[in-house]
Amino acid sequence: MKSRVHPTYKTHYRVGNWRVYEQALIQRGDVTVWLSADARAAWAASPSGRPGGQQRFSDLAIETALTLRLVFHLPLRQTEGFVRSILTVMGAGLDAPDQHDALAQESAAGSRVARRPGHRATASHHRQHGSVHCR
């Protein structure tokens, strides 16, 4: 696709400080995720008291996984692996929700996570409540 800007008027950027520029490129790939103590405590679902299969993960865990899925545009299986690797690196001792848990609980509970990729409200819910932080 051709540029709509005439070549005469196109802005040319020149890097003046290569050291800062290269550090900025390196930091662009940095992903920092951490869970608060409250989020770690609320990761597992509490017993419902009803007969039958019990939920393994809380709504917070499901929404966290689905938020990361939307932020990074991942399919469910890749989201499961991504969350599992984050929890392993953190040494949190927590398990990641699998695709079946996420789909079942999302449809049953009506997740509050926006479904459109790139929607600004996807990760802001957790940032406002201080439970999960993405940077």
Domain ranges of the chain: 31-134
Higher pLDDT, 85 or 102: 85
The string of pLDDT tens digits covering residues 45-67 is 888 788 877 778 888 888 888 88
- Which pLDDT belongs to residue 128? 47
Backbone angles phi, psi at 57, to 5 degrees: -130, 150
pLDDT band (50, 70, 90) for residue 103: low
Average pLDDT over residues 87-103: 82
Q: Is residue 122 within 8 Å of residue 70, measured between CB atoms?
A: yes
State how far the Cα of 125 lies from the Cα of 49, in Å rounded to an integer: 28
Q: Token pair of 10, please?
A: 């196109």
Encoded tokens for 54: 């019990």
Please give the pLDDT value at position 90: 87
Beta-ladder partners of 45: none
Between these two residues, 73 and 112, which has the higher pLDDT value? 73
Buried b (16+ CB within 10 A) or exposed e, 65-85: bbbbbbbeebebeebbebbbe
Residues with Cβ within 8 Å of residue 121, at least 6 apart in sequence: 114
φ and ψ at residue 131, rounded to 5 degrees? -95, -45
pTM for the model: 0.60
- 86 and 43 Cβ atoms separated by less than 8 Å: no
pLDDT band at 8 (very low <50, low <70, confident <90, very high): confident
Query: Residue 120: is its pLDDT beyond 60?
Result: no
pLDDT over 80 (residue 109): no
